[in-house]
Amino acid sequence: MAPCKRRRGNTCAAAAAAETPIAWTLPAELMLEIVARSDPGTLVRFAATCKLLRRDIVCPSFLRRDDVGRQAAPCILAYLRTYSGNPATLVHPSTAVAASFFRDHLWRVMARKKAVSLLEEYRPVASRRGLVLLLRRNLRNRPKSKRCSDVCVYDPMTGARTFLSRPPDIKRNTERYHEHEYVLLTAADGIGCSFMLLAADFYGRRITVQTASPCGTWGPLTYVEDEDRWWTFVTQYRDPAVLRGGVIHWLASQQQILSYNLGTGKTSSVKLPPTARKVKELLLATSSDGEVLKLIGIKGFVISVWLQLPVSAGSAGWAPEAVIDMEEKFRLMDPTFPPGGPDLPIVFQGFGKRTGDVVLLRMPRFSFYELIILDLKTKDMHMQKCDGQFLEIDLASRLQNTKIFS
């Protein structure tokens, strides 16, 4: 009987061991090494598992690693197409990893029937950090009683959408929308919610603002008037630069930048660097982390970049960051360029991407649909056929605001 008892004991012990779950754990350092070698889709899933792992993933030092940059493609630039079979086309970076993420993740969401019908009924007019502002087509043919969903904030990555009416309290001279009046902010701008839509009107020394929240309603109207600032002189209506905390900056004439603080409702101004007055065209952007302003100028083949210095002793200044001569690379793309400089001016193409690490240029001698993409960090330049609204997917900001799996 003793051997039987021993067998029963062994059997019971084996059964108890089988029922006891084995806790598989890996050191945090090893987990991050696995994440660093993952594709962008897997990177998002890792960030959604727990807050501690996401904290390490969104750390700037981790995202700046070379192996993460090669695999994750932290910032992807594309353009939306509303009239062809492909809902979007990759513009930058032109890497296999970015193309795989684009094809295997973004296309799958945008190819759904709801997304296709949405882009058929609405047209994209602005984009910021992966969100797209859509306006309904053929507004004149719709009765005013049915215009409660004429504006839509759309997330192509998830398919989420929020419908709004047009701003009820900002009066216009016509019934059509003025696209430059809208500014789209996201959670990465430090506004405390998933997005905020701002409608602004500039007249004389006054700026009029009305904002909408994710709940789908517009807030009260805000008037700010300042005798020292002429908002009529704002030149780049559709391309404001937004710093973290919701401070919006517009490039204006008279060598200055006009600003509106969404949190305090106050206005301010910043003078441009004296050397910027010699360039032909200016573009206002922000640093990659969204903390300081970046000013980009172009004259002939030369691009100059300035960064705003922190406020010190009551005044702020600028520091030169880079000077890039594009002539040699331009001539490689088109050997027929005349010597001594371009025969037609190179201009900036506004496209909704407000971080100044990649700029888009247009030269009239090229086709209307051909743009030049210049990476200011790597100095890489290539030409791209583009014919839609640009979409910027900032992977770092998306990771920061990813919901944790329940």
Q: How confident is the model at residue 374 (pLDDT cuts 50, 70, 90)?
A: confident
Number of structural domains the chain divides into: 1
Average pLDDT taken over every residue of the chain: 76
Structural tokens at position 46: 């890792």
**How many angstroms separate the CA atoms of 240 and 380, rounded?**
25
Domain assignment present for residue 299? The answer is yes
Q: Strand 131-136 and strand 256-261: pairing?
A: unpaired
Can you give the residue range of the structural domain that contains 223? 73-169+179-400
Establish if 321 belongs to a structural domain.
Answer: yes
222 located within any domain: yes
CATH number, position 191: 2.120.10
pLDDT digits (tens, 9 = 90+) for 180-204: 478 888 887 888 888 999 998 888 8
In sequence order, what are the beta bridge partners of 361?
A: 348, 372
For residue 256, is it within any domain? yes
**Which tens digits make up the pLDDT trace of 318-373?**
999 989 988 888 878 777 766 655 556 777 876 555 667 888 888 766 666 678 88
Q: Distance between CA atoms of 275 and 306, rounded to whole angstroms?
A: 10
Residue 190 belongs to a domain: yes
Question: Residue 331: inside a domain, yes or no?
Answer: yes
pLDDT band at 13 (very low <50, low <70, confident <90, very high): low
For residue 306, what pLDDT is reported? 92
Task: Categorize the per-residue pLDDT at 277 as very low, low, confident or very high, splitting at 50, 70 and 90.
Answer: confident
**CB of 360 within 8 A of CB of 346?**
no
Report d(CA 138, CA 151) in Å as an integer. 12
d(CA 319, CA 387): 35
Please give the helix or strand (H or E) that residue 194 lies within, else none: none
Angstrom distance (rounded) from CA 149 to CA 134: 10
How far is 96 from 109, CA to CA, in rounded Å?
A: 20
Instruction: Determine, yes or no, domain membership for 335.
Output: yes
Q: Is residue 40 part of a domain?
A: no
Residue 159 DSSP class:
-
What the block records as the tokens of 231 is: 């908002």
